[in-house]
Amino acid sequence: MTLLLLTGCAGGGGTKAPVDDYFARDMPGLPGQMSPVDNPVLEMRGLRHPPPAQVRQALLDEHERWLGTPYRLGGTTRRGIDCSALVQRVFAEAFGLELPRTTTQQVREGESVTRDALQPGDLVFFQPPGYYHHVGIYVGQGRFLHASTSRGVKISSLDNRYWRHYYWQARRPLDDVHLARRLDDIQYDRGEG
């Protein structure tokens, strides 16, 4: 394939046989033509690791950075942080994606996801007793990263009796392919990629 591309770039004049370009075809029922840029399969091929694994690793790295940070309602720093601020900071720092500050605003982000379809990077929401809702970030394998009121930043199991009882809903602010692409861009900009 590379040889063909190089030949096409280096080739002089002459007549070329028409190439059946799948992405240049008009698709029934769709306006215009498809673009290879919009093809998620091609996007995934350009990434170094499969998107779910890459997003999961980025979230685990964020867990390591925030581990030991105590919970503080209204807090936004390593001296103390609440659940929605942790979600906001992790998405901004790991993926360059700005999310709203509060759970009330975050629960309106992206699209709704069923619990059995969760992917790393999805937001998981809980309605425990009291005035406030709780939010965390799904990291895969039935676990989520969050700022616990009792133990600070940690990873917990969705199957824990408490969290299972108060589970409310999940939202996907951005699919894992696009999160992984944003992660690659940030790492490249930092000189890590």
CA 149 to chain CA centroid, Å, is 24
134 as an active site residue: the answer is: yes
178 as an active site residue: the answer is: no
Catalytic residue among 9, 49, 63, 134: 134
DSSP lists the bridge partners of residue 83 as: none
DSSP lists the bridge partners of residue 144 as: 138, 156
Q: Which two tokens stand for residue 133?
A: 């809702």
Helix (H, G, I), strand (E, B), or coil: what is residue 52? helix
CA–CA gap between residue 150 and residue 181 (Å, rounded):
34
Helix (H, G, I), strand (E, B), or coil: what is residue 135? strand
9 as an active site residue: the answer is: no
Catalytic residue among 9, 49, 63, 83: 83
At 142, which amino acid appears? G
CA–CA gap between residue 139 and residue 60 (Å, rounded):
7
Catalytic residue among 63, 146, 165, 178: 146
**Locus of tokens 């894992």:** 176
Q: Who's near 97: CB < 8 A, 6+ residues apart?
A: 91, 173, 174, 179, 182
Residues annotated catalytic, as ranges: 83, 134, 146
